[in-house]
């Protein structure tokens, strides 16, 4: 069964109205926003990744889903296996650091014996939340921060040469919580960039019933990434950025630092340009693992 088939089957189960037809990254329950992620050794993290970074990333990626909803973290429940002592202690240190950094206290959890599969349910609070499906033809596409750093960091984690600053972007992503709260009231659509800028923008356009064009020349790159590679297409098709991708009416400026990188139009599908020149779509639009 593919992930898409499994999600279709999950959609056929009795769904809560707050599940939003499982078409978004988080559920709503009153003013609460709920999101759940599992991570598996060898799939979502590397066996030699520092355990504290694994814990940090587990928290940060869940809170990134809350950020895209403009939510303030309220708490989290963790499911974790009991394993090798030194590994577990380092994991808990990273968990402590992340919970403190993002002011997200632990609400509960479960400990099990078993392999290194971890689960987190993060709960936030927001009055109203944008979805990924509200972009309209004419809206501009924006993104916070810089793109591609974490993809470079993954290559560095796997043995490529490169600076620690890029590795850190892969191992200790920072959810854009403050930016998300500022953006939520003004955007027409918002999501976090987890699988790659291009594929996530295509998903936002498809959910919104629009076409989208991304100008690769406008994709914001860090100076570290420019020194490391500088390839904007590689940056825009790598994953794990955890920046916020959002749509705004053409005449609205975002209330936070961000870069305008594209345009929604009538129709459907995705187009890339380099300035005004069309760029053929690559075979791979993003990081397609089985899990999102």
Q: Which one among 72, 117, 138, 165 touches its own copies, defined by CB under 8 A?
A: 117
> Which of 101, 59, 48 is closest to 242 using CA atoms?
59
Binding mask 55-94 for its own copies (x = CB under 8 A): -------------------xx-xxxxxx--x--xx--x--
284 lies in the site for its own copies, by CB under 8 A = no
46 lies in the site for its own copies, by CB under 8 A = no
127 lies in the site for its own copies, by CB under 8 A = no
Q: How many CB atoms lie within 10 A of CB 9?
A: 10
Q: How many CB atoms lie within 10 A of CB 127?
A: 9
> Which of 119, 29, 130, 123 is closest to 72 using CA atoms?
123
Q: Which is nearer to its own copies, 3 or 266 (CB)?
A: 3
SS3 112: strand
Question: Which segment (35-43, 158-166, 176-184, 242-250) binds its own copies by CB under 8 A?
Answer: 35-43
Q: Which is nearer to its own copies, 114 or 249 (CB)?
A: 114
Cα–Cα distance for residue pair 231/279, rounded to 1 Å:
13
Measured from the CB of residue 95, what is the shortest distance to its own copies in angstroms?
6
Cα–Cα distance for residue pair 65/121, rounded to 1 Å:
11
Give me the helix-helix angle, 85-101 and 51-67, nearest 10°: 30
Contact criterion met (CB below 8 Å) for 134 and 24:
no
Measured from the CB of residue 236, what is the shortest distance to its own copies in angstroms?
24
Measured from the CB of residue 2, what is the shortest distance to its own copies in angstroms?
8
Measured from the CB of residue 110, what is the shortest distance to its own copies in angstroms?
5
SS3 104: coil
Contact criterion met (CB below 8 Å) for 195 and 245:
no
Cα–Cα distance for residue pair 89/141, rounded to 1 Å:
42
107 lies in the site for its own copies, by CB under 8 A = yes
Q: Which is nearer to its own copies, 217 or 290 (CB)?
A: 290
Which residues of this chain interact with its own copies, rule CB under 8 A?
1-3, 6-7, 9-10, 12-16, 18-19, 22, 26-27, 29, 32, 34-40, 42-44, 74-75, 77-82, 85, 88-89, 92, 95-96, 99-100, 104-115, 117, 119, 121, 123, 289-292
């Amino acid at each position: 069964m593919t992930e898409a088939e499994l999600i279709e089957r999950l959609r056929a189960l009795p769904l809560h109205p707050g599940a939003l037809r499982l078409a978004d990254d988080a559920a709503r329950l009153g003013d609460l926003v709920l999101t759940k992620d599992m991570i598996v050794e060898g799939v979502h993290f590397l066996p030699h990744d520092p355990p504290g970074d694994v814990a940090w990333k587990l928290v940060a990626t869940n809170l990134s889903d809350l950020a895209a909803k403009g939510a303030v973290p309220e708490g989290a429940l963790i499911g974790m296996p009991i394993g090798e002592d030194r590994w577990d202690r380092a994991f808990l240190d990273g968990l402590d650091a992340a919970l403190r950094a993002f002011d997200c206290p632990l609400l509960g959890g479960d400990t099990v014996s078993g392999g290194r599969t971890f689960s987190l349910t993060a709960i936030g609070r927001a009055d109203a939340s944008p979805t990924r499906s509200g972009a309209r033809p004419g809206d501009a596409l924006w993104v916070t921060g810089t793109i591609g750093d974490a993809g470079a960091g993954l290559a560095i984690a796997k043995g490529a040469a490169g600076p620690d600053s890029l590795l850190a972007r892969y191992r200790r992503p920072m959810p854009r919580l403050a930016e998300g709260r500022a953006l939520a009231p003004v955007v027409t659509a918002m999501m976090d960039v987890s699988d790659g800028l291009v594929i996530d923008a295509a998903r936002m356009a498809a959910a919104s019933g629009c076409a989208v064009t991304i100008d690769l020349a406008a994709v914001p790159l860090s100076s570290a990434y420019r020194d490391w590679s500088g390839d904007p297409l590689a940056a825009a098709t790598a994953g794990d950025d955890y920046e916020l991708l959002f749509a705004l009416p053409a005449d609205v400026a975002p209330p936070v630092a961000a870069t305008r990188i594209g345009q929604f139009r009538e129709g459907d599908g995705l187009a890339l340009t380099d300035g005004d020149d069309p760029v053929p779509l690559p075979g791979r639009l993003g990081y397609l693992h089985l899990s999102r």
